[in-house]
A and B are shown apart, each in its own frame.
Chain A
Amino acid sequence: MNGVAVEQEIEPQESLASFLRERLRLTGTKVSCDVQVCGACTVLVDGLPVSACTYLAYEARDRDVLTVEGLAPSDGELHPLQRAFLEDNAYQCGFCTSGMLLTAKSLLDTNPTATEEEIVEYMDGNLCRCTGYRPIVAAIKRVQGELA
C-alpha cells in the first residue's frame, strides 16, 4: 500500500475502495458512480488502473496498490502530474481529481509520448463535470514536455 506492507483481515465481499476508505482511512480515493463507469475511484494495482469501487480488496493481496496519497515522492514534494494539475487548474471541485491523476500516471508510464488523440482516448473513461477536460489534457501535455 503506497510502498508500505499492510496486513488486514477483510470481508470476502469488501471492495478495495471501501477497504481503503473505511479501514485505512485513506479517503483520497473517491467513490462516485460505484459501478465502474466514472473513473473517480481509480487506483493503480501493479501499475495498472482499476476501479476500486468494484475491485475486490482480496484481489489486491501481494500486489502493489498506489493511491493518490502515495503519488507524491515525499512530504513537501509533489509528483509532476500534481504540479501540472495545479499549474493548469486541471480541477475545480476536486472529486474526480484523484482518479484523473492516477489514470494519467498510468498513461504516461505506459506511453510517455502519447499524442493528443491518445491522451483523449486513454482518459475518456474518467468523468469530470467541472472543467470541460481541456485543462486536464493541458496538464498531461505539460508533464510530457517536462519529461521530453
Chain B
Amino acid sequence: MASNTRKSPSAANGAASQEAVPDELGFRVVHHSVPRKDGPQKVTGRATYTADVHIPRMTYAKVLRSELAHARIVSIDTSAALQRPGVVAVVTGQDLMSLNMRNYGHAVKDHPVLAYDKVRYIGEPVAAVVAEDETTAQEALADIVVEYEELSAVITVEEALAEGAPLVHEQGYDQGVSPGHVDVDTSNKRSNVCQENHVRWGDVDAAFARAARVIKGDYTYPMTFAYPMEPYVSIADYTEEGLTMYSAAQHLYMVRNDVAGVFGLPLNRVRMITPFIGGGYGAKSYTKIEPLTAVCSWKARRPVRLQLTVEESILTTRADDSKVHIETAVDENGKLLARRAMIYLNTGAFAENSPLVSSKTAIRIIGPYLYDAVDITSYAIYTNTCPASSYRGFGISQIGLPAEGQMNELAAMLGEDSLQFRLKNLADSGQRFFPKKRPLTADVKGDIIKATEALGWNDPLPPNRGRGLGVLVTDAGAVPVGRSEVRVYGDGSVTVFSGSTEMGQGSMTVLAQIAAEEFGTSMGNVRVMQSDTALVPFARSTGADRTTTLEGRTVLQACVEAKEQIRVMAADIWEAAPEDIVLEPTGVMSEGRRMGWGEVIGKYFDLSDMEVTGRAHIRQKDEFAELPPWWEPAIAAVEVEVNPDTGKVTVHKLVTVADIGLAINPATSEGQDLGSATMGIGVALGEELVYDGQQLSNGSILDYRIPRFSDVPANSHGILVENQDGIGPYGAKGIGDGPTSVICAAVANGIYQATGVWLHDAPFTPERVWRAIREQRAAQAQG
C-alpha cells in the first residue's frame, strides 16, 4: 500500500516547542510550521462564523427567485404575504426606487439589488420576505404573486452571439470601484458582449507562416461551482447611525463600497465585519447578498439575517465555463514561435468579476514560455444563466486544459518527451517573457524537474497507466495597495491589525508569525485582529494570493516602524542619540544597557500599559511599480489509471510544487497546494454544472459531486521550493491558487499515455472517456 509522503507539520520544519531556536536561515518563528492561531477555536466548535452571530431583535429573510430565464416583470402582488402572521416586511424592486442606487458591481454596476424591470436568469432574486422566523419567511414566499411577460432567452455563448439574439442587457451601466484593470463595455449595449480583451505582441501571422509544425484545437471547460461548505450568509442592521453588517465576504472593503453606494452612505457609516469564513476559493470574493440583506434591514427597520442554502448559493455565483480555440506554432527545432487563441466565457446574467476573469484568461493562456508572437482574444459573454465570477486563480482554470493540454499534445506530435519539450521552451527566472510585465519571478524549469523526479517520470508504466505534467503562471497579487498597523503594549504583547480575512488559508497565523519574528516574541504573545472596516486598516481584498506577500510586507514594515518609535523613546530615556540605540531581537541596547520593547514604552510614558502603534502601507510605486508583484507558478504532475472497459479514471499519484520564495508556515503552505490540487481533481474527473434548456439541472450537492476522501491519492507529495526570491516578507511569495488549473491538462496527458486518446472537454467522466476509447477503436478498425 502506498503511504502518504506528505510531511506532517511537526516534521516539516520544527514543532512549536522549538520556535525559539533559530533555523539555518536564522528564523525563529517564520519559516516554521507553528500551530495555527485559529486551531483551538476550530477544533472545539468555538470559532464564530457569520451564521453563528446572533443580534437581539434579529429577523430572518428568505428570497423569492425567478422561475423564468428572461422576462419583464409586469406586477408583483405582496398583499397576501404581508398579512401572514410573523411577516415583518416584504421587499421588491419597487422599494429600490428611493435608494441612491438600485444597482451595484465593482467592475460594472449592472447588478440590481432585486430584479426591478426584468429577470435575467432562473434563480434571480425577485422579492424577499422578512419575518420573525425563517420558516414563516419561507412559507410567505408562496403568497407572493408575480406576473411576468416572458422574453426569449440566451443560454449558451453561441445563442448569445447569434445574429439578432435577444439582449440580456439593453443599456450600459456605470463603472464600479475597480476601473482600469477591467475594460468593460459601459456603452449602451447592442450585443451580449460584456467585455472584449486582447493580448498581442509580435507578428503572429508571419510566425505561423514560417512554422515547421502547427497544432490547432478546440477545448471546453465546464461550468463549475467553487462550493465553499459555508453557504452565503449575511446579517445587516440598518439604523440611523449607519449600517453594520456581518458577512461571509472575502473582500469586505469592496462590499462596503458597494453597499455604501446603494444607500449613498459615507464610508465611515458602513461597518463590515467578517467573522471566520467557511471557505471561499473566489466564490466569496466581491459583493453577493449583502446589498439585498441591507435593503431588507432598511425596509424592516430590524436586524435581518439572510442565510442561503447550498442550492441558492449555486444560483448566486458560479464559475465561468469556457470554449477555447487555440493554435500553437513551432519551428523545425521544436522551439515555440507563436500562439493564438480565442476564448469565450459564459459569464451569465451579470458581469460580477468576469471581466477580470476574462482579462486574466488572455494573459494566463500564454504560460511562462518564450514566444516571438502571440494574439489572444477573450470575451466575457452575457447569457440568461446564473452569474459567474471569480474561482480559484481568476481565469487560469478556464484555460488550463487548452494551454497545457495542447502543449502536451504538441510534444507528442513532435515525438518529444513533454518534460524535455517544456524545458526547451520555458523562460528562465528573471527573463522577461511577457512584454511590459515584470520578468519571471520563479524557477519553473527547476520546479518541473523536481515535480517529475518525485513522480517517477521515467519509471516503467504499468498497463493502463499514464503520466502528465502541467505548468502555468498567474500574474498574482492583484493591485499592490494595502496598509497594516501593529500595536506594541507596555507589557510587551503585540496586536496586528489587518483588513485581510481568515478563510482557512491561515492569514491570521502567518501575519502573527511575522510580528512574533520581528519583536523576538512568542506566537502566544501576538494577537491578530482582522476584517472589521470600522477598526482595522484597509485591505483591498483577500484573494489572488496577496495576503502573505503584500499585507505581510506592510505588517513587517509596521513592526519596523514601531521599533523605530521605540528607539527614539529609548534614546530619550537614556539621554542618548537615537542612532546609538541598537535594535536587538527582543528590545533595545545601548552601552551595555538593555530594555525590552514594552519596558521602553512603560518607562517613556511612566505608564506600564501604554502602547505604541506602527503603521505602514504600500502602493504601486518603487519596487511594487512593475506588475505583477510576482508570477505564481501552478505546477502539478500526476499518474493516472484508466479502466478501458468503464472509462473510469483514477489518480494514483500526485506531486505539486509551490515555488514559494520562503514558506512563512511550511505546513499550511503544503495544505494550500494539496487543497488546490484536489479542486483540480474534482473538475478533471467529474464536476460540471449542466443547463437543461433554461434550467440548471444539477444545482445541488445531491447532483454536483465534489471530491471525497476516496478521490485523493494516498500517494500525494507536496514540494516547497524556497529560493527567497519573492517581493514579500523575507523573500516570500504568495501561493494558494496553486495547481488547480493544471490538473486537467496533466490528467489528459495521463489518459493519452494510457489509451492513446486525447480529450479536449473536461470533465473526463467515465462516459466521456469510454466513448472516446470506443471511437478510437472503431476508427482503428476501419482504418
Contact = CB atoms under 8 A, between A and B. Distances in A.
Interface stretch (B277-285, B549-557, B768-776): B277-285
B667 A89 contact: yes
Contact of A121 (B4, B278, B710): B710
Contacts of B10: 87
A138 B716 CA distance: 12
Interface of A, helix, strand, loop or mixed by DSSP: loop
B54 interface: yes
Contacts of A86: 35-36, 39-40, 43
Interface in A17-60: 21, 25-35, 37-38, 40
A35 B700 contact: yes
A3 to B, nearest CB: 15
A143 interface: no
Contacts of A127: 229, 701, 706, 708
Contact of B44 (A30, A69, A96, A117): A69
A111 interface: no
A68 B44 contact: yes
A130 B9 contact: no
Given A29-B45, A88-B9, A95-B229, A134 B310 contact: no
Contacts of B707: 133
A68 B38 CA distance: 16
B228 interface: yes
Contacts of A112: none
B579 interface: no
Interface stretch (B85-93, B403-411, B484-492, B672-680): B672-680
B708 A124 contact: yes
B227 interface: yes
A102 B701 CA distance: 21
B229 A92 contact: no
Contacts of A134: 4, 6, 674, 712, 714, 716
B49 interface: yes
A120 interface: yes
B709 A124 contact: yes
* B47, B48, B54, B506, most chain A CB atoms within 10 A: B47
Contact of A132 (B40, B43, B677): B677
A71 B712 CA distance: 28
Q: Which of B1, B39, B281 has the most CB of A within 10 A?
A: B39
Nearest to A88: B8
B142 interface: no
Nearest to A117: B1
Interface in B602-658: none
A128 interface: yes
Contacts of A98: 45
A30 B46 contact: no
Given A32-B310, A134-B716, 14 more contacts: A31-B51, A37-B701, A78-B43, A82-B43, A86-B35, A89-B667, A89-B671, A91-B504, A95-B228, A120-B709, A130-B279, A132-B678, A132-B716, A134-B6
What 9 pairs between A and B have smallest CB-CB spacing?
A: A28-B45, A93-B504, A95-B278, A94-B42, A92-B504, A132-B674, A68-B45, A132-B678, A27-B52
